């Protein structure tokens, strides 16, 4: 069986096979995406493209917009690292390149299709309900990360209609935001690092997320338009006819033969979304042709396997969850446990380790606040199906842009700032054991006090969800704490657990064990 994770993977750099490339400086026309109307109101369902760039970005932006049709039906928002002390002239520079209307963003400005918006100097920018919101910039340890900030809000606001593009630049800004877009089934594109004047941002992005398209800046518009033409609307509960079901089963078989993991109890809607994305990249119109393509190209099967595991993780994700764990859950558990006790925790689907390390840090903070010292320790077992993700987690080295999620105090206390990123301190690293594991097939960890499984069950059919909930009940000690993801519904699988906080998804294992 399979395990689904909150994580990223090392990418396979890919490109669309022989798409039409636009090289002329004269903008062409494309069939626009029209806004739908409902009950007299306009629904903003057109794609919004966020473009992040810094050093060398102007040349890349010029190459991009020279080749983007004026009526693509998309809106474009450019987030570039700008000198905060100089007036912005980027709108004027880009207006010379494209006949699209170019605006410097203002607070509350409504985004419209076939327009281009540029972040003003000395501002941070987010998006809510299709409008741009400007803030005073927040610096973490001297870093400004405006691309990550905007991409994350774009993903939340536009979901599958969000498109994130990273062009030339230094540093790692944008990588975390691309992962958020990927999680929402948006489109991720990266300028080929070899073609970028400064390859730091493109290379960091390529290491963080499996991009849909990697190409020189001038080729990205044509590839994006071609890609979107091949992506159909996916309904929430697709009805499969016998022919399509047969081909879907063949894909599941090919995946099982190559990866050893069975996706037959994976939610069909998610399977189809990922398959349609891969079909679009290769401009394959019929699912039976994609089956043949997989048979002839084992590398494609490997990429699809990685795509099906795509998720997102970050340090202290959902801040309210960690605050409640620190202020209520852990202190109550510690108070009841005997001196010298070793607590045990399991983080299945740990991805690149942020969740497990966050738990270790919060435990350290709780123990430091105790007025009566107890010699309690915590051993965390963190597992994932993907070996690449586990290797990243074991290294414990994270890009500088984790400063978006980790406070300066925590960075100073639990990390070492090195040239290649923030290194998790030895005291935290030694609390966590990372291992490759298939949670369905392999033996579970048992006698646990804490189990965190966040946003993994949502990818599974109800029968598999129920099986895992029984497994988690068996793994936890009576009174042990289960934490699920914000998008997961405990629903019909609550037997053996009582709610601690239904909004934050904390549950307590009841005294009576379930049959298994």
**CATH code for position 58:** 3.40.50.180
505 pLDDT higher than 70: yes
pTM of the complete model = 0.78
The answer on 444 and 363 residing in a single domain is yes
pLDDT of residue 495: 81
Range of weakest confidence among 129-143, 187-201, 234-248, 314-328:
234-248
Which of 282, 308, 334 terminates a domain? The answer is: 308
Give the pLDDT band (50/70/90) at residue 4: very low
- The mean of the pLDDT values for the chain is 85
Residue 6 lies in a domain: no
The answer on 288 and 428 residing in a single domain is no
User: Burial of 202 by CB count in 10 Å (0-12 exposed, 13-18 middle, 19+ buried)?
Assistant: buried
Strands 131-135 and 124-128: antiparallel
The answer on 217 and 189 residing in a single domain is yes
Three-state DSSP state, 244: helix
Give the pLDDT band (50/70/90) at residue 14: very low
> How many beta carbons lie within 10 A of that of residue 104, not counting itself?
17
pLDDT of residue 13: 37
Range of weakest confidence among 37-41, 172-176, 210-214:
37-41
Residue 126 lies in a domain: yes
Strands 377-384 and 448-453: unpaired
User: In Å, what is the CA distance from 385 to each residue of 3, 149, 204, 225?
Assistant: 6, 29, 23, 34
Contacts of 16 (CB under 8 A, 6+ apart): 213, 215, 223, 226, 227, 281, 282, 283
CA-derived radius of gyration, the chain: 24
CATH number at residue 428: 3.40.50.150
User: In Å, what is the CA distance from 50 to each residue of 131, 162, 345, 393?
Assistant: 13, 8, 39, 29
Residue 251 lies in a domain: yes
Residue 354 lies in a domain: yes
CA 101 to chain centre: 31
pLDDT of residue 270: 82
The answer on 173 and 135 residing in a single domain is yes
The answer on 213 and 348 residing in a single domain is no
300 pLDDT higher than 70: yes
Residue 9 lies in a domain: no
Rounded average pLDDT over 339-368: 95
Which of 176, 194, 229 terminates a domain? The answer is: 229
The answer on 255 and 332 residing in a single domain is no
- Active site (catalytic) residues: 54, 81, 173
Total structural domains within the chain: 3
11 pLDDT higher than 70: no
Give the pLDDT band (50/70/90) at residue 86: low
Give the pLDDT band (50/70/90) at residue 8: very low
Range of weakest confidence among 234-243, 265-274, 431-440:
234-243
475 pLDDT higher than 70: yes
The answer on 408 and 278 residing in a single domain is no
pLDDT of residue 55: 84
The answer on 447 and 391 residing in a single domain is yes
The answer on 332 and 290 residing in a single domain is no
The answer on 269 and 325 residing in a single domain is no
- Distance, in Å, from the CA atom of 325 to the CA atom of 320, rounded to the nearest integer, reads 9
CB 321 within 8 A of CB 14: no
pLDDT of residue 310: 64
CA 250 to chain centre: 28
Three-state DSSP state, 143: strand
Residue 187 lies in a domain: yes
Rounded average pLDDT over 115-128: 93
Residue 504 lies in a domain: yes
3-state secondary structure 161-227: HEEEEECCCCCCCCHHHHHHHHHCCCEEEEECHHHCCCCHHHHHHHHHCCCCEEECHHHHHHHHHHH
Q: What pairs with residue 435 in β-bridges?
A: 383
User: In Å, what is the CA distance from 39 to each residue of 42, 43, 236, 360?
Assistant: 9, 10, 22, 51
Which of 170, 199, 229 terminates a domain? The answer is: 229
pLDDT tens, residue by residue, 325-343: 999 999 999 999 999 999 9
The answer on 83 and 225 residing in a single domain is yes
CA 487 to chain centre: 14
- Name the more confident of 53 and 24: 53
32 pLDDT higher than 50: no
pLDDT of residue 265: 85
- Distance, in Å, from the CA atom of 411 to the CA atom of 155, rounded to the nearest integer, reads 26
Residue 5 lies in a domain: no
Rounded average pLDDT over 4-31: 39
The answer on 262 and 159 residing in a single domain is no
Three-state DSSP state, 405: coil
Q: Whole domain around residue 115: which residue ranges?
A: 42-229
């Amino acid at each position: 069986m399979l395990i689904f994770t909150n994580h990223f993977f090392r990418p396979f750099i890919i490109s669309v096979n022989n798409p039409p490339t636009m090289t002329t400086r004269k903008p062409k026309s494309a069939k626009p995406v029209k806004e739908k109307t409902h009950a007299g109101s306009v629904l903003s369902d057109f794609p919004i493209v966020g473009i992040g760039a810094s050093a060398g970005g102007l040349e890349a932006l010029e190459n991009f917009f020279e080749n983007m049709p004026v009526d693509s039906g998309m809106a474009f928002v450019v987030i570039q690292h700008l000198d905060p002390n100089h007036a912005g002239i980027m709108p004027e520079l880009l207006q010379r390149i494209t006949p699209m209307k170019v605006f410097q963003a203002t607070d509350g400005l409504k985004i419209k299709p076939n327009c281009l918006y540029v972040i003003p100097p000395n501002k941070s920018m987010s998006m809510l309900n299709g409008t741009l919101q400007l803030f005073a910039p927040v610096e973490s340890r001297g870093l400004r990360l405006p691309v990550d900030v905007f991409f994350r809000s774009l993903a939340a606001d536009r979901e599958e209609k969000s498109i994130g593009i990273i062009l030339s630049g230094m540093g790692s800004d944008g990588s975390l935001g691309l992962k958020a877009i990927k999680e929402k089934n948006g489109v991720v594109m990266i300028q080929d690092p070899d073609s970028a004047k400064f390859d730091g941002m493109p290379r960091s992005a390529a290491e963080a997320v499996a991009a849909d398209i990697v190409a020189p800046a001038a080729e990205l518009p044509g590839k994006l338009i071609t890609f979107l033409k091949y992506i159909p609307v996916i309904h929430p509960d697709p009805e499969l006819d016998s022919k399509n079901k047969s081909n879907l089963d063949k894909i599941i078989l090919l995946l099982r033969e190559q990866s050893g993991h069975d996706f037959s109890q994976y939610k069909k809607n998610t399977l189809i979304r990922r398959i349609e994305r891969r079909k679009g990249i290769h401009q394959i119109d019929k699912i039976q042709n994609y089956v043949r393509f997989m048979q002839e190209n084992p590398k494609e099967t490997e990429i699809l396997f990685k795509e099906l595991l795509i998720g997102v993780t970050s340090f202290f994700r959902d801040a309210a969850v960690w605050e409640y764990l620190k202020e209520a859950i852990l202190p109550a558990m510690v108070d009841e446990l005997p001196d010298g006790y070793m607590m045990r925790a399991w983080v299945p689907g740990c991805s690149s380790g942020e969740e497990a390390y966050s738990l270790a840090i919060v435990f350290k903070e709780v123990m430091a606040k105790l007025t009566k010292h107890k010699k309690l320790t915590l051993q965390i077992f963190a597992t994932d199906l993907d070996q690449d993700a586990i290797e990243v987690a074991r290294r414990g080295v994270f890009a500088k842009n984790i400063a978006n999620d980790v406070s300066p105090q925590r960075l100073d206390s639990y990390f070492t700032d090195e040239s290649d990123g923030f290194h998790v301190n030895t005291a935290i690293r030694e609390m966590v054991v990372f291992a490759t594991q298939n949670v369905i097939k392999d033996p579970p960890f048992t006698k646990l006090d804490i189990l965190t499984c966040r946003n993994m069950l949502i990818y599974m059919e109800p029968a598999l969800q129920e099986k895992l909930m029984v497994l988690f009940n068996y793994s936890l000690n009576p009174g042990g704490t289960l934490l699920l993801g914000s998008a997961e519904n405990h629903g019909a699988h609550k037997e053996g657990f009582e709610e601690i906080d239904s909004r934050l998804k904390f549950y307590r294992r009841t005294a009576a064990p379930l049959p298994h």
